[in-house]
């Protein structure tokens, strides 16, 4: 029994000596890590507070950003005129196909007219009756824009067919009347203050402006311009 114990003790001592000094190093343990590093003297321990801030990573959406939207279309205010109080409602009907709604409004002004188109008063015994007959003839030709001058003066019982700022505009109106069958009208100088109407259209984009130009060019002696 004593002999067996001594043999077992010697085996244990021998195994310990072999494991401690003779066995190959464990792959998971590195007894000398610094000796196998590349340029270990260049290693430097940096404290967390000295680390540089991380570089932000742009999201994919930012890299593939959509192109910037086009600049907004500039809107403007345009006005069409000018019209007499009688002509303004007919001009508004011309704009009805555009369905302008609240964008359409009126601006009232007073203009000094230097020229007019008129049928002179007839030198007869009853010029008033003669003026009424002329008015009936005008209506039969489809002409409604006129009035009989009743104020005292040399033009009493004449029929006015329009007042204009320029002679050119007055003669254009006379040409239209001649084409409609009016033969006795003429153009003359007459400075007077006349109430006028401008039709204003707000929030006009390029497409609407083109449509306005297409409609308003059909009415002679008018202009389409920017609102004052």
Residue ranges of domains in the chain: 76-226
* Bridge partners for 201 per DSSP: 78, 104
The string of pLDDT tens digits covering residues 152-203 is: 888 899 999 988 888 998 999 999 999 999 999 999 988 778 889 999 999 9
Does the pTM of the predicted model rise above 0.85? no
The string of pLDDT tens digits covering residues 40-77 is: 666 666 666 666 777 766 665 555 667 777 777 778 99
Question: What is the enclosing helix (H) or strand (E) of 7?
Answer: helix 2-17
CA distances from 226 to 160, 163, 186, 214 (A): 30, 23, 33, 16
**DSSP assignment letter at 97:** G
């Amino acid at each position: 029994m004593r002999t067996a114990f001594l043999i077992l003790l010697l085996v244990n001592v021998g195994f310990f000596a072999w494991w401690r000094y003779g066995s190959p190093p464990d792959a998971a343990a590195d007894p000398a890590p610094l000796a196998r590093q590349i340029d270990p003297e260049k290693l430097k321990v940096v404290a967390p507070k000295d680390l540089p801030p991380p570089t932000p990573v742009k999201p994919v959406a930012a890299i593939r950003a959509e192109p910037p939207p086009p600049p907004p279309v500039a809107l403007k205010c345009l006005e069409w005129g000018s019209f007499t109080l009688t002509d303004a409602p007919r001009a508004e009907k011309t704009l009805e196909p555009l369905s302008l709604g609240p964008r359409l409004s009126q601006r009232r002004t007073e203009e000094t007219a230097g020229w007019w188109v008129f049928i002179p008063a007839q030198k007869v015994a009853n010029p008033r009756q003669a003026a009424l007959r002329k008015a009936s003839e005008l209506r039969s030709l489809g002409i409604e824009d006129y009035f009989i001058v009743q104020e005292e003066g040399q033009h009493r019982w004449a029929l006015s067919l329009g007042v204009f700022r320029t002679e050119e505009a007055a003669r254009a109106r006379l040409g239209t009347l001649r084409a409609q069958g009016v033969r006795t009208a003429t153009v003359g100088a007459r400075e007077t203050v006349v109430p006028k109407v401008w039709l204003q259209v707000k929030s006009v984009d390029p497409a609407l402006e083109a449509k306005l130009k297409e409609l308003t060019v059909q009415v002679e002696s008018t202009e389409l311009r920017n609102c004052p």
